[in-house]
């Protein structure tokens, strides 16, 4: 995994957005996997700035959300369909019909999960997947002990995940217990993976994902298997990495870097 340690969130957003922009310039109809959460917000804001400045055209891309809560009413402001609409679709001026999110309101959730997998396949697969990481090492909503080859499915959220996400809701009791999420096997099939992590609260999870053993106890460690995975970290999120100085050295001396 390429590990890039940068001074702060602004630099992380700029460098990670550059990797997404490069993928879109290579393929104007790229399929982009979209994560929610706090960490990717700066990346999306930087892409929106480039779009507004005429530096980047994303009008042809197609998007797939990583996950969605189960059971929130349609249009709920904290549904991930709503969050992606506010933070990605509208700022980047995307066609909403080209951005797909798992259907957490479906009567048949297993069928909805299988249908989402088929839709990704029909799009030709995901070219570049944006990821955050939970404090317990989850990516998407793949909680610890998730199968490393799992597909899109229903998951039960861990108590820690629900507690971490309670800040977005009026009360902790409002946080759904279940979700639909792309599986770890689904995520690994993306051609590129771009993980963004910010803040000291993510440092233990980042260290386990990057330098720990490949283990379902840290689902994000599955990224070690991917040939084109990058982790873009601020100094706080990188605080527990044993080889931090090496990662800084390799980034400073990357071939053709600037």
List residues with catalytic annotation: 67, 136, 138, 143
Measure the CA–CA gap between 181 and 184, rounded to whole angstroms: 9
Biggest CA-to-CA distance, the chain:
53
Strand partners, 131: 195
With 0-12 / 13-18 / 19 or more C-beta atoms within 10 angstroms meaning exposed / middle / buried, residue 161 is buried
Enumerate residues 6+ apart whose C-beta is below 8 A from 252: none
């Amino acid at each position: 995994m390429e590990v890039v340690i940068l001074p702060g969130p602004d630099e992380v957003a700029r460098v990670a957005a550059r990797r997404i922009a490069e993928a879109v310039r290579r393929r104007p109809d790229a399929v982009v996997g979209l994560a929610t959460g706090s960490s990717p917000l700066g990346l999306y804001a930087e892409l929106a700035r480039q779009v507004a400045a005429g530096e980047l055209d994303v009008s042809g891309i197609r998007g797939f959300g990583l996950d969605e809560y189960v059971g929130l009413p349609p249009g709920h402001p904290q549904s991930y369909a709503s969050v992606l609409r506010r933070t990605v679709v509208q700022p980047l001026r995307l066609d909403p019909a080209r951005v797909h999110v798992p259907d957490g309101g479906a009567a048949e959730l297993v069928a909805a999960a299988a249908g989402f997998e088929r839709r990704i396949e029909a799009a030709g697969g995901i070219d570049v997947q944006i990821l955050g990481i939970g404090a317990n090492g989850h990516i998407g909503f793949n909680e610890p002990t998730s199968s490393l080859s799992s597909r899109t499915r229903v998951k039960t959220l861990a108590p820690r995940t629900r507690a971490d996400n309670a800040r977005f809701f009026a009360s902790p009791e409002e946080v759904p217990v279940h979700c639909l999420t792309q599986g770890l096997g689904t995520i690994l099939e993306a051609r590129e993976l771009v993980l963004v992590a910010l803040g000291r609260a993510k440092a233990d999870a980042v260290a386990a994902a990057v330098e720990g053993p490949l283990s379902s106890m840290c689902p994000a460690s599955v990224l070690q298997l991917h040939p084109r995975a990058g982790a873009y970290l601020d100094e706080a999120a990188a605080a527990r990495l044993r080889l931090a100085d090496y990662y800084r050295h390799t980034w400073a001396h990357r071939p053709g870097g600037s």
